[in-house]
Structure 1
Amino acid sequence: MSELEDISLHIHDRISSLQRMVDLSVVELPQNKNRKLGQELFALESLLEEFEKRVGQQKEQLKHLKKLEEVFKKDVEDVHHMKDNIPAHMPMKKVPTCGTEPVLNKKEAADVQLVQPENVKKTSKSYIKEMEFITVPEFENIPPYMKGRVSYDHINAVVQSINKAVTAKYKVLHQSVKTLSNHARKLHQRFKDQDTKATKGQYFVVEDDIREFTSMKVDKRFQGILNMLRHCQRLRELRGGGLTRYILL
């Protein structure tokens, strides 16, 4: 039972006591009874003041609780909004990628066959750089004329495809030539031939790599998305020898 209920019951008892005294006031009361009645009235007045004080405190507490309720309600709405609008592609931390997994081309054929992990010597060249996904603020800051009708999910789908091609390419490069199939050896040699002094120590792909390892169409729209990725400082172009190399930043 709350304090207010306790005080209310106490006041009710006092009022009942006073009511009985008033009922008896039709007869002449002794002096001490009149004094007792005055004391009861004074005590009742004090109780009423305390009751009003407690009511005021309860009102302030209720007002504070209503403000908290609004804050919690807003937090719940924000959480539901975030839950309903999680991007399909989230920015990720770069992590080392093991180079012992088999590589598949866009047709998922076993043409590029690598040996089993237990037969591959461990090498320090196990790290493969990946491009970070575009964040929502970055996407919103891309100029409208450059963005056109490309969606946030579409640009990050291209990021994912480029990462797939980079990973597949450098898994081949990180393997010993002796462990590769004939097709993989040809790819390995092509990758080595495309490397230059300007690309030493950097990770890059060319359009043929995108076609080889992904199902992404290398068309005009794809080129437009590459422009956006350059704008967001995810890659840069290096031309030479009839090739355009897309270097990850």
Structure 2
Amino acid sequence: MMKDMASSRLEDLCLHINMKISNVKKCLLLRDLGEDDSRKPVLRKIQKEVILVHDLLNEMESEVKQQEKLKDSLKEMQKAAERDQREAQHLLEHIPRYLPKPSQSCNTVPAVKHKEETKAVELKNEKKPAKEKKAIKEAALITTEEFESVPAYLKGRITYDQINTVVQEINKAVVGKYKILYQPLKSMSAPVRNLYHRFIEQETADTKGAFFIVEDDIKAFTQLKLDKRFHSILSILRHCQRVREIRSSGLIRYVIC
């Protein structure tokens, strides 16, 4: 067995030496080919091709590096997109119950026509002009950013939803009041006419052009309890510039900002 192993190693060594001798012979042959004038054009052509291949390999290497940079950039973009998707999913699953209105919303009701208004002569087929409408100003809902900015001594245990519930009820009272004010007197029932006259009596020079309500309007048009929490929320709404107060003749008027 030892003899077989020694024989095998000797054969491998002989094979290795023969390969080296063969490589040396090839190198000598190639060196001699360079001196052969008939083969020089072919060698020059091969040299040019080798240079072209070398340049091509350099371009390929540059392109590979650029692709690697692009791959890294795409990975970063993928991570950012996945992060944005998680944040969007979180926002979708935690949409606030109340969202701020994109713009000052207004309810509109037809304006009352005065009896003294003169009638213009119209052609038979002419369309009647659209009735003029008056807007009713409403308070915008509180945003989450505004809620976070409210001082702790004002908020206490009052929640974001509770504040916006009061805002909605205040708007309901404002709309209810001014719809009556914009109605023709002749179309009013006796109780509504009494409300109309009360509204007119509560107006002052300071409230001209403003939309306001009083506590009686809140009682008449909403189910809100005018308790301590309600007045605390009013303080928050004043802080957030949703309402302001005008006090005169022992009456508090809550003006929509």
1:92-111 superposed matches below 5 A: 92=101, 93-99=103-109
Structure 2 unpaired stretches of 5+? 1-22, 34-38, 111-129
- Cα distance in 1, alignment partners of residues 58 and 109 from structure 2: 81
Q: For the structure 1 residues 56 and 177, does the alpha-carbon distance in structure 2 shift closer, same or farther, using more than 3 Å as the test?
A: same
Q: Does 1:86 align with 2:86?
A: no
What residue is the counterpart of 1:190 in the other structure?
198
> Of residues 139, 144, 149 in structure 2, which corresponds to 1:141?
149
- Per-residue CA deviations over 1:189-242 (Å, capped at 9, x if unaligned) read 221222222222211111121121112222110100000011111111222333
User: What is the 5 A alignment of 1:221-236?
Assistant: 221-236=229-244
Contact 2:106 2:138 in 1 (8 A): no
Could you tell me how far 1:84 is from its partner in structure 2? Answer: 3.2
What corresponds to 1:214 in structure 2? 222
Using structure 2 for the length normalisation, give the TM-score: 0.68
Measured in 2, the distance between the counterparts of 1:194 and 1:99 equals 21
Q: Residue 136 of structure 2: SS of its match in structure 1?
A: coil
* Paired position in structure 1 for 2:252: 244
CA distance in 2, matches of 1:51, 1:135: 56
* Residue 42 (structure 1) shift: 6.5
SS in 2 for 1:216: coil
Superposed displacement of residue 122, structure 1? 4.3
Structure 1 residue aligned with 2:9: none
Does 2:75 match 1:75? no
Which secondary structure state, in structure 2, belongs to the residue aligned with residue 128 of structure 1?
A: strand
**What is the distance in 2 between the residues matched to 1:72 and 1:161?**
41
1:87 shift after superposition: 2.8
1:134-186 deviations in Å (ceiling 9; x for gaps): 12221111100110111112111111110110010010011112101222112
The whole-number CA distance in structure 1 between the counterparts of 2:132 and 2:64 is 76
Report SS of the residue matched to 1:149. Answer: coil
Structure 1 distance, partners of 2:99, 2:178, is 23
Distance 1:51 1:95 in 2: 62
Equivalent position amino acid for 2:233 in 1: I
What's the CA shift for 1:48? 4.5
Aligned alpha-carbon RMSD (Å): 3.2
2:205 aligned with 1:202: no
- TM-superposition CA deviations, 1:109-156 (whole Å, max 9, x none): xxxxxxxxxxxx9455x2111112112221111100110111112111
Decide whether aligned partners of structure 1 residues 35 and 154 sit closer, same or farther in structure 2, where only a CA change above 3 A counts.
same
Residue matched to 1:63: 72
User: Do the aligned partners of residues 97 and 42 (structure 1) sit closer, same or farther apart at CA in structure 2, a change above 3 Å counting?
Assistant: closer
Structure 1 counterpart SS, 2:108: coil
Measure, in 1, the Cα distance between the counterparts of 2:219 and 2:139: 18
Which SS does the other structure have where 1:99 is aligned? strand
**SS state at 2:77 partner:** helix
CA separation in 2, counterparts of 1:204 and 1:130?
10
Pair 1:233–1:43, CA change in 2 (3 A): closer
**CA–CA separation in structure 2 for the residues paired with 1:197 and 1:52:** 83
Q: Counterparts of 1:189 and 1:42 in 2: how far apart (Å)? A: 102
Structure 1 residue runs of 5 or longer lacking an equivalent are 1-21, 101-120
- AA in 1 matched with 2:252: T
**What is the alpha-carbon distance in structure 2 between the residues aligned to residue 53 and residue 193 of structure 1?**
85
Tell me the SS of whatever aligns to 2:104.
Answer: coil
SS in 1 for 2:254: strand
